[in-house]
């Protein structure tokens, strides 16, 4: 393993073997220059350099370990140079803990033909105007979503921009090909991604002594929903001097296909038990998907859901507390069933919101259109995800993962 | 003075006499069942039972002493019974400190012919539909701003609703007559307000042993911009068994007229130096107006500005730090002059926002439409107002009020 000064990844405990289930779940410590992340962990999205609705101080109070900034959004506004001048994204946004950035590729390519979530979920119905103008060997050309200006973006650019942003963990640029393009396109796209990866690695190690402090590089496994391509891409990825790996690209059209894609990728990614690497699953944050992904060896997840749900008046709840919404992992507090519900939002949660307010009051705030309720719900959703991951880590440590999973979803 | 158990008002220090200036400024302790308010103090508006953009925990951290709920909004939604069932407004909204409610009258009457601020500022241009249907001896009839339903509201209703809401300090119902109605209407309206006041007092002492805990009653001085009416109303007010007094009604069309109205009212209100009563100025929060009002003996102020300005991207700053906005008491961070300004928002402020973020970053968040910036600016604006009042109290205590005032506005 290549030496990444300031970084380390140590597996503390693995689930005991049970041939009836996937059994690659592991509790680990991911060390970064800004602190240790106990994994499995959830990474919260600070897309434009801010968590929507929650301050860094509140994130910390609700036990958040790590957050993620989006290179695409940040390089367009306020711009990588501005971020660098303000001391890097950590200092700029007031977050002193571990931090991740993606490569910018996901947004560039997903804005090409569809929204971000429609890409990874294989949704073909999309009316968004075309923002991706051209993909060629050297890089991609796209229109800014802010002002329509045309930008050329190369693998080297992505590394340089991420150096300026200064997150602890950064990603190589990949072409994120959509679901509907078929196997031939996906195969060519994967090969291009591998060639870009080598250029990214070259640029990364060239600039490793740069001004933005030590960083660690993750590679991305592509290959869409095709088993042989996933295998080939995973083999390529583990052969490179990355600190960690991400499972990316098109992850299928539903949770079943998602779990298949994870299995295809993980077979190779976590084969080397002696020198384990941290493994991230890009853009997935459904509660059941997390339990299943962890069972297959995924260490970290990221998703905008905790704060996005809050903006829509929704809060995560275990099914047993979810009244008539037990089929989903959240409830909408606007629902009139909460109007006279004087109990706490989540009876087992110790976050500021659950310790302070009733469901009836939160319902009132949503009905009244009061913006502060977004903050209250976001605080809970953040605390909920952190508690979920804590529960998952305990379950692995105590060797009762599948019992704990069943209990979590009890109705 | 009538005994109000759990309440006290003690003047600690008065400005020394200087015949060139108004010299009634005083530092006092206003004791309530939920804690002591050091006055002069600013009261932050939690109109619908929530501070817009800021949690109670953040309010407390930025040294907030007291907040205000609006009876009109709260009785329509979620309703006084719901608030009572949830344990009163303190418990419902998670604020355990001193609290004020208005009577509901201001909104009922100001929604009649204009917006709230156009009433007290005498602005005649208003296109709002008529929501006030009738004013008669027994009370007022109005349409709900939420669903158009018709409600009858009496002085007794106001006391009963405020009992349910459970704030520490509550107000009698007054008719808040607009600027343009002229002297005859204002005189009749004042007389009606006085008759309603007597009914409010009767209801208040009848229900003083009610279930919502001990409360203190403030009367309201009316009389518009007319000196003899203000005098008459103030004389009436000080003759009643109130714990405190509020200066209300139409306060003139500009700051000069406002200061005249305050002077007319205060001559009587703070005449009794042996048994001082706390005096509140309703709905005024301009920085210069506060300095001038305190000089005339006003103890507390309320205004929506700190949080409203934040929602519009604006932050309070002393003129010396306000760049090209020195003529106003705030700056708008959206202004491009802040784009590359790496300094803190307010160099002398110790709030979370000023200690954590740069002007350039806050500008970026506003440009990006990120809602969290509302919170960041509101935190600062709250801290700023609390610091202003702390400065004012020190200046009174140190007998250098007019020097301190001049320093505050230095450019």
pLDDT tens column, A64-110 = 999 999 999 999 999 999 999 999 999 999 999 999 999 988 888 87
Task: Tell me whether residue B102 is one of the annotated catalytic residues.
Answer: yes
Which member of B55, B73, B342 has the closest CB to residue A375?
Answer: B55
A163 versus B127: the higher-pLDDT residue is A163
Q: Which of A75, A339, A359, A361 to mutate to test the interface with B (most CBs of B within 10 A)?
A: A361
B residues 69-88 closer than 8 Å to A (CB): 73, 77-78, 82, 85-86
Is the sign of the CA dihedral B239, B240, B242, B245 positive or negative? negative
Residue B314 in 3-state DSSP? strand
Instruction: Give me the pLDDT at residue A168, please.
Output: 97
Yes or no: say if B140 and B134 are a contact pair by the CB < 8 Å rule: yes
Mean pLDDT of A393-398: 96
Residue whose pair of structure tokens reads 């302070």 in the numeric block: A356
Instruction: Locate the domains of chain A by residue range.
Output: 41-50+70-303, 310-401
pLDDT in tens, A332-389: 999 999 999 999 999 999 999 999 999 999 999 999 999 999 999 999 999 999 999 9
What share of chain B in percent tops pLDDT 70?
92
Q: Taking each helix axis from N to C terminus, what angle separates B372-397 and B287-295, rounded to the nearest 10 degrees?
A: 30
Residue numbers in B near A374 (CB within 8 A) = 371
Q: Phi/psi at B73 (nearest 5 deg)?
A: -65, -45
Closest residue in B to A87 (Cα) is B342
Known catalytic residues of A?
102, 302
Identify the pLDDT of residue B377.
Answer: 98
Reference B248, options B190, B199, B162; nearest CA is B190
> Tell me: the pLDDT tens digits for A240-252?
999 999 999 888 8
Q: Closest approach of chain A CAs to the CA of B168, in angstroms?
A: 20
Q: Are B371 and A371 within 8 A, CB to CB?
A: yes
**Poorest-pLDDT segment among A222-226, B117-121, B257-261, B387-391:** B117-121
Contact A77 B371 (CB under 8 A): no
pLDDT of residue B123: 52
- pLDDT higher than 70, residue B188: yes
Position B108 pLDDT exceeds 90: no
Terminal Cα distance for chain A, rounded: 45
What single-letter DSSP state applies at residue B323? G
Span B24-51, average pLDDT: 97
Other CB atoms within a 10 A radius of the CB of residue A68 amount to 24
Q: Which member of B84, B174, B292, B302 is catalytic?
A: B302
pTM equals 0.94
Asked whether residue A35 carries a pLDDT value surpassing 70, the answer given is: yes
Chain A interface includes B365 (CB < 8 A): yes
Q: Is the pLDDT of residue A324 over 90?
A: no
Distance CA A180, CA A174 (A): 18
For chain B, the residue count is 411
Mutate to test the interface with A, among B44, B46, B47, B50 (most CBs of A within 10 A): B50
Among B353, B371, B377, the residue to mutate for chain A (most A Cβ within 10 A): B371
**pLDDT at residue A93, rounded to an integer:** 98
- Burial (0-12, 13-18, 19+ Cβ within 10 Å), A338: buried
Q: Cβ of A356 and B50 within 8 Å?
A: no
Q: State the Cα–Cα distance between residues B319 and B407, nearest whole angstrom.
A: 10
Task: State how far the Cα of B53 lies from the Cα of B376, in Å rounded to an integer.
Answer: 8
For B357, the closest of A94, A356, A370 (CB atoms) is A94
Q: How far apart are the C-alpha atoms of A240 and A204, rounded to whole Å?
A: 12
> Residue A209 — very low, low, confident or very high, per pLDDT cuts 50/70/90?
low
Question: Which strands make up the sheet holding B150-153, listed edge to edge?
Answer: B132-135, B140-143, B150-153
Q: Are the C-beta atoms of residues A61 and A381 closer than 8 Å to each other?
A: no
Tokens in use for B42?
């600013």
* Chain B positions in Cβ-Cβ contact with residue A364 (cut-off 8 Å): 48-49, 77-78, 82
| Closest in A52, A92, A361 to B372, CB measured | A52
In 3D space, the residue among B191, B208, B302 whose CA is nearest the CA of residue B246 turns out to be B302
Shortest CA distance to B334 belongs to which of B351, B350, B357, B310? B310
pLDDT on residue B114: 44
SS (H, E, C) chain A: CCCCCCCEEEEEEECCCCCCCCCCCEEEEEEECCEEEEECEEEEECCCCCCCCCCHHHHHHCCCCEEEECHHHHHHCCCHHHHHHCCHHHHHHCCCCCEEECCCHHHHHHHHHCCHHHHHCCCCCCCCCCCEEEEECCEEEEECCCCCCEEEECHHHHHHHHHHHCCCEEECCCCCCCHHHHHHHHHHHHHHHHHHHHHHHHHHHHCCCCCCCCCEEEEEECCCCCHHHHHHHHHHHHCCCCCEEEECCCCCCCHHHHHHHHHHHHHHHCCCCCCCCCEEECCCCCHHHHHHHHHCCCCEEEECHHHHHHHCCEEECCHHHCHHHCCCCEEECCCHHHCCCCCECCCCCCCHHHHHCEHHHHHHHHHCCCCHHHHHHHHHHHHHHHHHHHHHHHHHHCCCHHHHHHHHCCC
At residue B44, what are phi and psi to the nearest 5 degrees? -90, 140
Q: Does A367 touch chain B (CB under 8 A)?
A: yes
CA–CA separation, B6 and B169 (whole Å): 11
Query: pLDDT band for position A117 (50/70/90)?
Result: low
Average confidence score pLDDT of chain A: 91
Q: Provide the number of CB pairs (under 8 Å) joining chain A to chain B.
A: 104
Q: Does A368 touch chain B (CB under 8 A)?
A: yes
| pLDDT greater than 80 at residue A214 | yes
Q: What is residue B127's three-state secondary structure?
A: coil
Decide if pLDDT at A6 tops 60: yes
Tens-place pLDDT, residues B335-380: 999 999 999 999 999 999 999 999 999 999 999 999 999 999 999 9
Does residue A287 contact residue A316 with C-beta atoms inside 8 Å? yes
- pLDDT grade for B115, boundaries at 50, 70 and 90: very low
Tell me: domain B8-303, CATH 3.40.50.20, correct?
Answer: no
Nearest chain A residue (CA) to B81: A340
pLDDT at residue B71 tops 50: yes
> Cβ distance A119 to A179 under 8 Å?
yes
**B72-109: string of b/e by CB count within 10 Å (b at 16+)?**
bbbbbbbebebbbbbebbbbbbbbebbbbbbbbbbbbb
Comparing CB atoms, the residue among B51, B94, B360 nearest residue A356 is B94
CB-nearest to B358 from A57, A86, A375 is A86
Interface membership of B94 toward A (CB under 8 Å): yes
CA–CA dist B401, B40 (Å, integer): 13
User: In terms of CATH, what superfamily is A41-50+70-303?
Assistant: Queuine tRNA-ribosyltransferase-like (3.20.20.105)
Q: How many Å apart are CA A264 and CA A225, to the nearest integer? A: 9
Q: What is the dihedral of CA A136, A108, B358, A302, to 10 degrees?
A: -120
Angle at which helix A227-238 crosses helix A182-206, to 10 degrees, equals 10
Tally the C-alpha atoms within 13 A of residue B333's C-alpha that lie toward its C-beta: 35
Hey, how many other C-beta atoms are within 10 angstroms of the C-beta on B340? 14
Instruction: Give the C-alpha separation, B44 to A387, whole Å.
Output: 34
Q: Which among A340, A358, A370 has CB closest to B50?
A: A370
Q: Which of A242, A217, A219 is nearest to A1 (CA)?
A: A242
pLDDT of amino acid A139: 94
- Smallest Cβ–Cβ distance between B57 and the set A50, A51, A352 belongs to A352
The nearest CA of chain B is from the CA of A248 a distance in Å of 27
Residue B201: pLDDT above 50? yes
Rounded Cα distance, A276 and A68, in Å: 22
Determine contact: B370 vs chain A, CB below 8 A: yes
Per-residue confidence band for A208, with pLDDT thresholds at 50, 70 and 90? low
Contact status of A336 with chain B (Cβ, < 8 Å): no
Rounded to an integer, what distance in angstroms lies between the CA atom of residue A231 and that of residue A117?
Answer: 24
- The answer on pLDDT for B84 being more than 90 is yes
Over 70: is that where the pLDDT of A285 sits?
Answer: yes
pLDDT of residue A115: 45
pLDDT range class, residue A129, cuts 50, 70, 90: low
Shortest alpha-carbon distance between residue A124 and chain B (Å): 29
B211 touches chain A (CB under 8 A): no
Chain B residues within an 8 Å CB radius of A352: 55, 57
CA distance B94 to chain A (A): 6
Burial B201-217, CB ≥16 within 10 A → b, else e: bebbeebeeeebeebbb
In angstroms, the Cα distances linking A280 to A107, A220, B278, B406 are 18, 9, 61, 59
Question: How many CA within 13 A on the CB side of residue A125?
Answer: 0
């Amino acid at each position: 393993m290549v030496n990444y000064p300031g970084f380390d990844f140590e597996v503390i405990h693995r689930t005991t073997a049970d041939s009836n289930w996937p059994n690659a779940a592991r509790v680990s410590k991911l060390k970064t220059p800004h602190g240790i992340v106990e994994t499995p962990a959830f990474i919260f999205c600070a897309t434009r350099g801010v968590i929507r609705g929650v301050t860094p101080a509140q994130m910390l109070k609700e036990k958040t370990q790590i957050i993620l900034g989006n290179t695409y959004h940040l390089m367009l506004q306020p711009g990588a140079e501005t971020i660098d001048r303000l001391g890097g994204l950590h200092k700029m946004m007031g977050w002193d803990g571990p931090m991740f950035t993606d490569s910018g590729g996901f947004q560039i390519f997903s804005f090409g033909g569809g929204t971000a979530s429609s890409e990874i979920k294989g949704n073909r119905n999309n009316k968004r105007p075309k923002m991706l103008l051209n993909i060629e060997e050297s890089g991609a050309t796209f229109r800014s979503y802010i002002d329509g200006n045309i930008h050329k973006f190369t693998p080297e650019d992505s590394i340089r921009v991420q150096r300026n942003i200064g997150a602890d963990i950064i990603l190589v640029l990949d072409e994120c090909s959509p679901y509907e393009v078929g196997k031939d396109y996906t195969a060519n796209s994967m090969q291009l991604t591998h060639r870009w990866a080598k250029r990214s690695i070259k640029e990364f190690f060239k600039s490793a002594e740069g001004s933005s402090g030590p960083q660690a590089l993750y590679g991305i496994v592509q290959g869409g929903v095709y088993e042989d391509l996933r295998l080939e891409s995973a083999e390529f990825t583990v052969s490179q001097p990355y600190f960690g790996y991400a499972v990316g690209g098109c992850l299928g059209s539903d949770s079943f296909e998602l779990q298949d894609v994870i299995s295809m990728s993980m077979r190779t990614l976590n084969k080397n038990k002696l020198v384990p690497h941290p493994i991230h699953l890009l853009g997935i944050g459904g509660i059941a998907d997390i339990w299943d992904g962890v069972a297959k060896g995924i260490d970290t997840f990221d998703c905008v859901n905790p704060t996005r749900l809050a903006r829509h008046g929704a809060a995560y709840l275990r099914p047993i507390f979810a009244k008539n919404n037990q089929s989903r992992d959240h409830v909408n507090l606007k629902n009139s069933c909460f109007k006279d519900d004087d109990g706490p939002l989540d009876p087992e949660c110790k976050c500021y919101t659950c310790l302070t307010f009733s469901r009836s009051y939160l319902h009132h705030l949503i009905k009244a259109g009061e913006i502060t309720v977004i903050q209250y719900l976001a605080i809970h959703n953040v605390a909920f995800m952190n508690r979920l991951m804590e529960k998952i880590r305990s379950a692995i440590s105590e060797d009762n993962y599948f019992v704990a999973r069943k209990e979590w979803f009890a109705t």
